[in-house]
Structure 1
C-alpha cells in the first residue's frame, strides 16, 4: 500500500468512526451530519452524485424520512453499526479497490455472492426439491470458511446465504461470528429461528434475515405446511423485540401477486417490524417447472408499478428483482453477483443453472476469469430496453448462444430443458414475445427509454 492509499484509508476510518459515534449517541437527530460525513468518504464525482441523489430523495419524501428515522431509532445499536460498517463502509467503499485488482488478471469480482451451503430443508414445500438432498450433499464448514475467506480477500463483504434452509447448518453461526466484518443475509423459512438463535443474531449484528412468505396464512401454509405462517409471525415478533433488522422475500406467481403487493399485506409487515420486501418472479426452474405459474405480462408490469408506489407511499423499502432492472443497468448476474451452489458450481444467477467452473479444488477468483462469465459481461445489458433484462425468459437466444459457445453444463436436472427441449423452449419464446410489446410501451411511458446503463463504478 503506497502512502496515498494509506492516508486515504486512514481518513475513511476516521470518518467512519465519527459516523459510528453519531449512530451511537442520537442517530435520528444526526442524519444530516451522517450524510455529510459519508460525502467525505468518497472521491469520485459519480459516487458523490449518487449520495446526493439518496440524500435529496430522503429530504423530499416525508415517507422516506419516516422510514429512515424508524430504522435508526428502533434498530439495536450493534446491528445498526454493523450494517453501516459492513455494508456501506466495507462492501461499497473499502471493498471496491480490492475488487478492482482482479481486472489485471482478466476477471471482475462481483459486489456480492450468493452461497448455498446446503440444499436440505426442514420443510417439504410444494414443488421444492430440497427433500432429495442429504447431509452428505452439504458443503463442509471448513470449505464454507475457505470460500468466505477468499471472497473477503477479493473485496466481497456482502454474502447472501441461500439453500435449502440456511439455518439447518448450525455451523453457519460460527461463520457469521468469525467474519464479523462481512454482512450476511440468509433467505430463510424462519422456522428454525428460536429465541436463542434470535439472541445470537442480535449479538452478532452482521446478520439480516429475509423471511419467506407467499402471502397470508392461506397462501403460505398452502405451500409450506400448516402452521408455518404463524411460526414466521412469531419469529418477526422476536426479531422486532430485539431490534434486529430483517425483511421478507416473496416468490411471486400469477396466483399470489395481488396478495403480496396489497396494502393489507404490506401494512402487516410494517407493523411486524419488517423493513423491506424482495419480490422474485416465479421462474420455470427446479423440480416440475410450470410456465403457467409465471406472471402474465400484465401482472409482471403491475408488480413493478406496485413496487415503485409502495416505496413512495409507505415507510417501507421494496425491491423487484426484474422490474427494478432499469436502475441497475439490466441483468447484473455474473457481473455484480453470482451464485455458488451446494456442489460448488459457480452460476451467474440463482435462476441460471449453468456453469463452467467448479471451485472445490481451485480458488474462487478463477470462476470470475472464465470465458463464460466474460461472455455474459460483454453482452450485458442483453437488451436496450431494461425492462427486458433476463437471458432466461426475455432474451432467450442469449442463454442458448452462451451455453453453446462456452460449453456451460447444466447444474440442475431440469436446467437442460432451457436449451435442449424444443417444446419447453417454444413456450418460453412465446411468453417472451407476448411480453415484449407491453414492455416496450412501459419502457417509453414510465422510463422515457432511459436507464442506468453504467454500473461500472459500483
Structure 2
C-alpha cells in the first residue's frame, strides 16, 4: 500500500503535469510552468534525502506573513485568534531566511496568507527570489493594481489566488459592498498581464449549489482563472455551525469537481479534501504545517498552538517540535469531525497536549 509521502508526492507530480497541460496554448506561460515543474521534481528529491537522514519534511507549508488586513470579513479565522493579534509581524529578513531554509529542505509549495499578504511587499520580494518553491498568494484582491499584476507577471513562482465566497451577493455579504466587482477588475488586470492565477472559494452548505456550478466556474474561467481551490468553511467564531460541511456535502462537492474538470477545465482542488483516503488530517507536519505571522510553527491555521518559534531557531530544528510529534501520535488527526478541520473540533484536547508537555 502506498504510504502518505508517496501519495502526496504523486499528487504534486500530477498537479505539475496538469499545470503544463493548461498552458500548452499560452506560449508566454509554458517556460515558466516548465521551470516550476522542474522545481517540484527537485524539491521531491531533497525531501527524500532528508527522510533518509531521519527528517520528515512536509511538501506544503502555510505562512501567514502578516496580521494586517484591509478587510474585516465575517467569520475570519485570523481575527478570531485574538492571542496572535498582540504579537508583531516577523521582519522580511527573517522570512527570507525561512524561505531559503524551506527551499533547501525540499518544501514544494508555501502558501502565503495573512491578514492580507499584499500588505507585505517586502516579504513577497523575498519569496520571489526562491524560484524553486511555488508560492500561491491568498489575497482578497483589493490591492491588485497594475504594479502588482506586473510583479506577478515577472515572478512566475508567485501565483495569486483571489478569494471569493461565490457570486456577487454571497461575496459582498461576507466581505463588504462592492468587493465582488473589485475582484473581477483585479482578475482582468492579471489576465491582461498574462499571469497564471486562481481563486479560493469558501464552501458552505448555503453556497455549494452556486459556487461549484458549471455556470459560475465557467464565468470565472472566462475571466482567466486557471486554478480553483475549494476550502470548507470552519466556524471558528462559534457561529454558523449549520453552514459547515458534513459527509454528504463532501460527496456532492467531489462529484461536482469531477464534472467541472471535464466540463470547464482548469485545476480543481478541495481542502481538506478526502481525509479518509489520506489516513486523516494532514496538519502537524503529516503533509503541511503553519507558520504564524510572528514565527510560531503551528499544526494548522485553525489550530494556533505552538511550542517552537522560527524567531530563534532554524526551520529544520522547528520541524522536530516535540509537540507536533506528540500530536501526530495522539490519534486526534483521524477523528470524526464536523466541518473542515478535525483539530479545530478537538482544540481543547490539542491544548491539553501542549499543557502536559509544559508541565
- In the superposition, the TM-score normalised over structure 2's length comes to 0.83
- 2:38 is the counterpart of 1:89: yes
- The offset of 1:328, in angstroms, is 4.4
The equivalent residue for 1:304 is: 254
For 2:186 and 2:232, how far apart are their aligned partners in 1?
A: 25
- 2:256 is the counterpart of 1:256: no
Larger Rg: 1
Aligned ranges for residues 398-417 of structure 1 at < 5 Å? Answer: 403-407=351-355
- In the superposition, the TM-score normalised over structure 1's length comes to 0.66
The equivalent residue for 1:74 is: 26
When residues 105 and 71 of structure 1 are mapped into structure 2, their CA distance, relative to the original with a 3 A threshold, is: closer
- The offset of 1:358, in angstroms, is 1.9
For 1:408 and 1:209, how far apart are their aligned partners in 2?
A: 40
- 2:131 is the counterpart of 1:180: yes
- 2:99 is the counterpart of 1:148: yes
CA contact (8 A) 2:214 2:263 kept: no
Q: Per-residue displacement from partner, 1:324-349 (whole Å, max 9, x unpaired)?
A: 33554542212221110112111122
For 1:124 and 1:233, how far apart are their aligned partners in 2?
A: 19
The equivalent residue for 1:120 is: 68
CA contact (8 A) 1:326 1:386 kept: no
- Quote the RMSD (CA, aligned, Å): 3.4
More relative contact order, 1 or 2 (CA 8 Å, 6+ apart): 2
1:367 to 318, 326, 330: 318
Q: Per-residue displacement from partner, 1:416-456 (whole Å, max 9, x unpaired)?
A: xxxxxxxxxxxxxxxxxxxxxxxxxxxxxxxxxxxxxxxxx
The equivalent residue for 2:3 is: none
When residues 188 and 312 of structure 1 are mapped into structure 2, their CA distance, relative to the original with a 3 A threshold, is: same
Secondary structure of the 1:190 match is: coil
Secondary structure of the 1:325 match is: coil
For 2:336 and 2:164, how far apart are their aligned partners in 1?
A: 31
Q: Per-residue displacement from partner, 1:108-133 (whole Å, max 9, x unpaired)?
A: 11112111110211112223355978
Q: Per-residue displacement from partner, 1:238-278 (whole Å, max 9, x unpaired)?
A: 21222211111011122222221122211111111111211
Unaligned runs of 5+ in 2: 1-5
Aligned ranges for residues 7-406 of structure 1 at < 5 Å? Answer: 69-74=21-26, 76-77=28-29, 80-86=30-36, 88-91=37-40, 93-103=41-51, 106-128=54-76, 130=79, 137-285=88-236, 287-325=237-275, 328-333=278-283, 334-378=285-329, 382-383=333-334, 391-392=342-343, 403-406=351-354
Secondary structure of the 1:280 match is: strand
CA contact (8 A) 2:87 2:294 kept: no
Q: Which has the higher helix share?
A: 1
Secondary structure of the 1:142 match is: helix
For 1:174 and 1:95, how far apart are their aligned partners in 2?
A: 21
Secondary structure of the 2:343 match is: coil
For 1:216 and 1:75, how far apart are their aligned partners in 2?
A: 31
For 1:247 and 1:327, how far apart are their aligned partners in 2?
A: 25
For 1:365 and 1:188, how far apart are their aligned partners in 2?
A: 28
Structure 1 stretch displaced more, 331-340 or 134-143: 134-143
For 2:176 and 2:218, how far apart are their aligned partners in 1?
A: 24
For 1:355 and 1:134, how far apart are their aligned partners in 2?
A: 15
- The offset of 1:283, in angstroms, is 0.9
When residues 354 and 201 of structure 1 are mapped into structure 2, their CA distance, relative to the original with a 3 A threshold, is: same
Structure 1 stretch displaced more, 224-233 or 175-184: 175-184
For 1:241 and 1:135, how far apart are their aligned partners in 2?
A: 40
